Copies of this chain bind each other. A is one copy, B any other.
Amino acid sequence: MENPTPVPPPHAAKDVTEHVGYRLKRASAALRNAMDRALREHGLTVPQYSCLELLDEQPGLSNADLARGTFVTRQSANVVLRGLKDAGLITRPATAAQGRALPVHLTSAGRERLHLARRAVYSIEVRMIGGVPADRLPALLSDLDAMTEALDG
């Protein structure tokens, strides 16, 4: 009487490695690893790079914005920002002109560092995408998006 009802598997799968979650995690880990190694040569961590990329695109984002954008907590993002500020790659006002949000901006050194690191990161993305047929890329993006929405919504 330990387990009378076997759990119905999400879909036909011989073992764990056939599960979407496993593949997703594995791909994500591989990407994280590759980015870690590449960014280390530029003196950046993955969260730091992610913040720089977001800030280059949307200057003035707040700490909370960056936390959401990089999928970590506000507290973690705060630590990252402190590191970037100490490195002179971003600026952050000590007081808020209005509200509590403190808008973060890239310094020219930050922009420069980002542009250098971006080369390395993009080449990784190119290598990663190289494995999948080009005509399936839109579907892949869409499916990843759908999965996220299905979980978050």
Contacts and interface: CB of A to CB of B under 8 A. Distances in A.
Interface of A: 2-3, 7-11, 15-16, 18-21, 23-35, 53-54, 57, 71, 108, 111-112, 115, 118-119, 121-122, 124-133, 136-137, 139-141, 143-152
Contacts of A21: 31, 35, 121, 124-125, 128
A18 B140 CA distance: 11
Contacts of A2: 108, 111-112, 115
Contacts of A24: 24, 27-28, 31, 144
B57 A144 contact: no
Nearest to A18: B141
Nearest to A137: B11
5 contacts: A7-B115, A19-B125, A21-B128, A27-B145, A132-B146
